[in-house]
């Protein structure tokens, strides 16, 4: 890897014991030393999106936009609620439609195997129309070892860790190829 690589990881679940957040924390543990995976932990603090506020966005929104700008890539891991994307995640994405931080941004979609096909498809559609650079090799379904897998169970499971590492490599390859 030629240069430092920083990934912003966003979980679509606010739940304390979220499997999606656990996947992202496991990803953080599995990343090589020169690849920094940082979780965005303020999804719940973003106000409801309102175009009237876009000219002078609230501080939490500015921070979210800046965190995306200063990241080389994004990973989004999300559950599905009622066949849709969780409102808090869609709300966060709405805040960066007009400001454009996602345009061209290498982006990975993570999900749990056999769960949430509608939300994954909907997220793909939203990210595509926002012109994010969806990296197919980094869009993965993770077969969790159990219903309530812990971070270390995911990180040490041979199948999960291998799938996650391969996705990270795909993101890094994309970044290196396109950053000169």
Ligand X SMILES: Cc1cc2nc3c(=O)[nH]c(=O)nc-3n(C[C@H](O)[C@H](O)[C@H](O)COP(=O)(O)O)c2cc1C
Q: Are 108 and 135 in contact (CB under 8 A)?
A: yes
61 versus 109: smaller Cβ distance to ligand X: 109
In the complex, the smallest distance separating the C-beta of residue 15 from ligand X, rounded to whole angstroms, is 4
Window 20 to 49, contacts with ligand X (CB under 6 A):
20
Which of 87, 98 has the CB closer to ligand X?
87
Residues that contact ligand X, how many (by CB under 6 A): 12
Nearer to ligand X, 68 or 154 (CB): 154
Among 8, 10, 13, 149, binds ligand X (CB under 6 A): 13
Q: Should residue 82 be labelled a site residue for ligand X when binding is judged by CB under 6 A?
A: yes
Q: Binder to ligand X among 19, 72, 107, 120 (CB under 6 A)?
A: 19
Name the residue with the smallest CB distance to ligand X.
79
Residues of this chain that interact with ligand X (CB under 6 A) are 13, 15, 18-20, 79-83, 115-116
């Amino acid at each position: 890897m030629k240069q430092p690589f920083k990934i912003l990881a966003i979980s679509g679940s606010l739940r304390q014991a979220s499997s999606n957040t656990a996947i992202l924390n496991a990803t953080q543990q599995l990343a090589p030393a020169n690849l920094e995976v940082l979780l965005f932990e303020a999804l719940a603090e973003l106000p409801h999106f309102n175009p009237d506020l876009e000219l002078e966005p609230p501080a939490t929104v500015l921070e979210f936009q800046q965190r995306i700008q200063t990241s080389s890539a994004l990973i989004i891991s999300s559950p599905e609620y009622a066949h849709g994307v969780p409102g808090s995640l869609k709300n966060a994405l709405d805040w960066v439609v007009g400001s454009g931080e996602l345009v061209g941004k290498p982006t990975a979609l993570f999900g749990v195997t056999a769960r949430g096909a509608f939300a994954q498809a909907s997220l793909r559609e939203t990210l595509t129309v926002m012109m994010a650079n969806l990296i197919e090799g980094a869009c993965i379904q993770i077969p969790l070892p159990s219903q309530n897998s812990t971070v270390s169970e995911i990180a040490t499971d041979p199948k999960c860790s291998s799938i996650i590492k391969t996705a990270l490599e795909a993101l890094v390859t994309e970044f290196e190829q396109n950053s000169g």
